[in-house]
């Protein structure tokens, strides 16, 4: 039921993270957002009632039927981009660990001015979430090339 709800959330424009059937934090957030935007009690919980409401909204929006096993092109595109973004975020976290080590070394050996500059660079590197509304800017900020984004236009 979780995977079905995740797929319906994706179809309706919400981001539950991966549609893998696991009740993850992004899935709970997407459920809560859907509930809030549709005048429902915000619980973030997976229930048969929620599944029914999502299916009805999906069908009204012209989404695929619940019985269809083949993911829609839009869903496949979103999953592809999510995978690329997760890979970029993983690289970014590794970069953050390097920057943290550099900041520590800079404060020890280079003084407070150098340490402040390293910390400033680190903060700038983590502002990617502020650009999430614009796919191109977000992709660029995450280090995804246009080729990465284009590869997700026709995944398969």
Q: What is the DSSP string of the chain?
A: -HHHHHHHHHHTT---S--SS---HHHHHHHHHHHHHTT--------HHHHHHHHHHHHHTT---TT--SPPHHHHHHHHHHHHHHHHHHHHHHHHHHHHHHHHHHHHHTHHHHHHHHHHHHHHHTGGGGGTTSHHHHHHHHT--HHHHHHTTS--
Residues 15 and 79 in one domain: no
In the structure, what pLDDT confidence band is assigned to residue 130 with cuts at 50, 70 and 90? very low
Does residue 65 sit within a domain? no
Domain limit, last residue, from 35, 60, 85: 60
Q: What is the span of the domain harbouring residue 99? A: 73-151
Kindly report the pTM of this predicted structure.
0.41
Does residue 66 sit within a domain? no
Residue-wise pLDDT for 2-34, tens only, equals 999 999 999 999 999 988 988 999 999 999 999
């Amino acid at each position: 039921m979780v995977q079905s709800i995740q797929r319906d959330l994706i179809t309706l424009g919400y981001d539950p993270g991966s549609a893998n059937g696991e009740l993850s934090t992004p899935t709970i957030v997407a459920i809560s957002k859907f509930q809030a935007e549709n005048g429902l009690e915000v619980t973030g919980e997976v229930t048969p009632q929620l599944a029914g409401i999502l299916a009805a909204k999906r069908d009204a929006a012209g989404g695929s039927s619940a019985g269809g096993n083949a993911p829609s092109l839009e869903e496949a595109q979103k999953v592809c981009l999510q995978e690329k973004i997760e890979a970029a975020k993983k690289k970014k976290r590794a970069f953050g660990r390097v920057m943290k080590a550099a900041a520590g070394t800079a404060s020890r050996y280079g003084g407070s001015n150098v340490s402040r500059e390293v910390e400033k660079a680190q903060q700038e590197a983590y502002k990617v979430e502020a650009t999430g509304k614009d796919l191109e800017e977000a992709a660029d900020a995450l280090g995804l090339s246009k080729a990465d984004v284009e590869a997700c236009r026709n995944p398969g």
